[in-house]
């Protein structure tokens, strides 16, 4: 993943660490959680997953439905947080891994679009620790499961 994805993951880990620290230890815990999030974002390796599907819907429908899905499953990233793309795309953060607690940065790009169908690439990145949660793969699968409701057909497995 590129620097925009890494920055988005770092921001989410810091936010989660700060909240967890605050809930467990008050203001001092919040500072510790914030610091832990910063360290984790720099030290932990980033795992990625990518898959493509064909969705039997027009471009505007796919982008509108994906924006709604990303917003409801987590949050839609702002333009300043999104990874650059040559294709129509959306970027968001969804929960993945154990109990959907690990943030995963997800980018959905429409590679080819006709009046009746789109080829969509879903990319995800997540930080992993010693106990692998396969969060990037699970985030991609969450998006594909949603796209199946729109008539998606898979083209390939995680790369």
Domain assignment present for residue 2? The answer is no
Domain assignment present for residue 106? The answer is yes
Q: Are residues 93 and 104 in contact, defined by beta-carbon separation less than 8 angstroms?
A: yes
Q: Write down the pTM of the prediction.
A: 0.82
pLDDT per residue over 47-93, tens digit each? 999 999 999 999 999 999 999 999 999 999 988 888 889 999 999 99
| Res 5: pLDDT | 78
Domain assignment present for residue 84? The answer is yes
Domain assignment present for residue 53? The answer is yes
Question: Crossing angle for the helix pair 59-73 and 135-148, nearest 10 degrees?
Answer: 130
Domain assignment present for residue 8? The answer is no
SS3 per-residue string spanning the chain = CCHHHHHHHHHHHHHHHHHHHHHHHHHHHHHHHHHHHHHHHHHCCEEEEEEEEEECCCHHHHHHHHHHHHHHHEEECCCCCCCCCCCCEEEEEEEECHHHCEEEEEEEEEEEECCCCEEEEEEEEEECCCCCCCHHHHHHHHHHHHHHCCCEEECCCCC
Domain assignment present for residue 117? The answer is yes
Structural domain total, the chain? 1
Domain assignment present for residue 134? The answer is yes
Report the CATH number that the domain containing residue 49 is assigned in CATH: 3.30.530.20
- Domain range holding 144? 45-154
| Res 150: pLDDT | 87
pLDDT band at 138 (very low <50, low <70, confident <90, very high): very high
Domain assignment present for residue 59? The answer is yes
Portion of the chain with pLDDT greater than 70, in percent: 87
């Amino acid at each position: 993943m590129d620097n925009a994805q890494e920055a988005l993951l770092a921001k989410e880990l810091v936010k989660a660490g700060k909240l967890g620290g605050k809930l467990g230890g008050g203001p001092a815990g919040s500072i510790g959680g914030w610091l832990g999030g910063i360290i984790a974002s720099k030290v932990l390796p980033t795992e990625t997953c990518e898959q493509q599907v064909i969705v039997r819907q027009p471009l505007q429908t796919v982008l509108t439905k994906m924006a709604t899905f990303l917003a409801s499953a987590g949050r839609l990233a702002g333009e300043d947080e999104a990874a650059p793309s040559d294709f129509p795309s959306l970027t968001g953060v969804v929960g993945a891994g154990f109990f959907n607690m690990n943030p995963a940065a997800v980018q959905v790009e429409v590679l080819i679009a006709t009046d009746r169908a789109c080829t969509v690439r879903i990319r995800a990145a997540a930080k992993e620790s010693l106990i692998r949660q396969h969060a990037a793969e699970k985030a991609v699968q969450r998006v594909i499961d949603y796209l199946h409701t729109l008539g998606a057909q898979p083209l390939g497995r995680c790369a």
